Amino acid sequence: MTAVIFDCDGTLVDSEPLARTAWERALLPYGYTLTDGDAEACIGLPYPRVHAYFAERAALPAAEPFWAIFSNELFALIDTALVPFDDAIGAARDLRSRGVPVAVASSSPRERLHRTLGRAGLLEAFDVTVAGDEVARGKPAPDMFLLAAERLGVDPASCVVIEDSPPGVQAGRAAGMVTLAVCRVPGTEASLAAADRVVDTVSADAILEAA
């Protein structure tokens, strides 16, 4: 193993419930009520794909103007209710203290990723960060993990990916990287079965063992 690449939302921070609430609030004026199936279908996907998903179901503005509506709701929640996952953050810091390069590769646009890392006190915690709007294809394509490896200056085959969603696991595997999935929702382990290993909590030792 040369480096470790972490997903952000759902892996480093418990932001998925906040995103769901923001989507619910942003969609409601357009007459759409978000369902559990919608939330499951969209987890781990980049904003343009989620917007396209809902634009097929409601008469929404285009992606860019709707981002202002959605992000206004989301950032208010991030600023007041974001909860970090201490296990993953501790693992990232532990690895870095051991001299292992660490990166973040998130489906979130740069604006959201920066806001999230800032609120979690993680802006200086990683050697490299990659946002969803910096690659041509989001997860489950491998582009952002490959870009993270490129920015770190390491061989993708020597990287370990830490993910919590099926699209993220697919992306890590497609990048040719060892992929460790952390199951944040009990009972959903089967959806992460494509990972090399599934764990309940993240630690530096578990990552090293997976490698």
Catalytic residues: 7
Under 8 Å between Cβ of 66 and 51: yes
For 76, the token pair is 């208010």
Under 8 Å between Cβ of 159 and 1: yes
Cα 64–chain centre separation: 20
CA distances from 152 to 71, 138, 206 (A): 29, 19, 22
The answer for residues whose C-beta is within 8 angstroms of residue 9's C-beta and 6 or more apart is 15, 16, 19, 106, 107, 108, 116
